[in-house]
Amino acid sequence: MDVIKTQQISWRAIEKVVVHPLVLLSIVDNYNRVAKDTRKRVVGVLLGSSFKGTVDITNSYAVPFEEDDKDPSIWFLDHNYHESMFSMFKRINAKEHVVGWYSTGPKLRENDLDIHGLFNEYNATQKSQKVFVHVQSEIAAHEVEEIGVEHLLRDVKDTTISTLATEVSGKLTALKGLDARLKEIRSYLDLVIDGKLPLNHEILYHLQDVFNLLPNLNVTDLIKAFAVKTNDMMLVIYLSSLIRSVIALHNLINNKMLNKEHERAEDSKSVPVPSTAGS
């Protein structure tokens, strides 16, 4: 996101910017609806409040924006739409005011200063100086927002990938990562044995802790527990396969019976009625 900061002369300088999840979701939704798979960018207004050098961005809305790709000086921003939207937002929450604006894209553009000047007119009472500054930013949310984001992330699923395929892919990635770590440990120990690297006792202590956490497979109770757990899982898989086979066979029989009934109905309709000839 391209951002132009404004350092306040009469007020305290901005030290930190806090962005709420609702703002990020609104920006992403605006981009997906308007500029996805194109070279266009979207522009919108950031609403919130500022207190003791911290800007709290709690809401945002998109603004219709068009620009010429060849001539950056030619652009259009519907400020009438902005004024009507801000008036409606002001009725809902009077504490929110315009704290900035956003635009999507990897870098700043030539007309960003002009756009910033347009939005700065709505804060004409504040004397400002245009400078580029690095400001600490973080994502924060109220308790209600956290619950909403958790439910949203829970419902976001890739319909093209099944749950089983996702789990298998995750297991495979984890095993590959474990294999890479074990090879790295082995390479380090070989270098230590060959005298090419100095002995580091702290690393050896951590490795010893790892080995101490490994289960002892020589214990009879542990072997029995693993066997019982494996047998239980195999039994569930076997029963699931058996049930699927029975259901498939049942559907096949029902389908054949239904087809026979349709054939009988068609045969009864196609039987010709004998005609009687009068003398």
In a domain, 159, yes or no: no
Domain match, 143 and 223 both:
no
- Its domain, for residue 207, covers 175-213
At residue 169, what is the residue type?
S
Domain match, 32 and 145 both:
yes
Gap between the Cα atoms of 66 and 40, Å rounded: 8
In a domain, 209, yes or no: yes
CB 136 within 8 A of CB 16: yes
In a domain, 117, yes or no: yes
In a domain, 139, yes or no: yes
Q: What is the pLDDT of residue 175?
A: 92
Domain match, 207 and 235 both:
no
In a domain, 1, yes or no: no
Domain match, 26 and 118 both:
yes
**What is the number of other CB atoms lying within 10 angstroms of the CB of residue 43?**
25
Gap between the Cα atoms of 151 and 142, Å rounded: 15
Number of domains, the chain: 3
In a domain, 10, yes or no: no
pLDDT by residue, tens only, the chain of 279 residues: 444 444 443 456 778 888 888 888 888 888 888 888 888 888 898 888 888 888 888 889 988 888 887 887 888 888 888 888 888 888 888 888 888 888 887 777 878 888 888 887 776 445 556 666 777 888 887 777 777 777 776 666 655 555 667 777 888 888 998 999 999 999 999 999 999 989 899 999 999 998 888 877 788 888 888 889 999 989 988 999 899 999 999 999 998 898 888 888 888 876 555 555 554
Domain match, 116 and 182 both:
no
Q: What is the pLDDT of residue 156?
A: 61
Domain match, 45 and 135 both:
yes
At residue 112, what is the residue type?
D
Domain match, 27 and 142 both:
yes
Domain match, 203 and 226 both:
no
CB 21 within 8 A of CB 60: no
In a domain, 164, yes or no: no
- CA-wise closest residue to 100 among 72, 67, 80, 126: 126
- CA-wise closest residue to 62 among 87, 81, 37, 40: 81
Domain match, 118 and 21 both:
yes
Q: What is the CATH number of the domain that holds 78?
A: 3.40.140.10
> Around 231, how many Cα atoms within 13 Å sit in the side-chain half-sphere?
6
The CA distances from residue 10 to 77, 117, 222, 241, in Å, are 29, 18, 71, 74
In a domain, 222, yes or no: yes
Gap between the Cα atoms of 191 and 184, Å rounded: 11
Gap between the Cα atoms of 117 and 77, Å rounded: 12
At residue 53, what is the residue type?
G
| Pairing status of strand 128-130 against strand 65-67 | unpaired
Predicted model pTM = 0.49
**Helix 21-34 with 143-155: angle, nearest 10 deg:** 40
Gap between the Cα atoms of 102 and 27, Å rounded: 9
Domain match, 146 and 200 both:
no
Domain match, 205 and 240 both:
no
Gap between the Cα atoms of 189 and 199, Å rounded: 9
Domain match, 194 and 99 both:
no
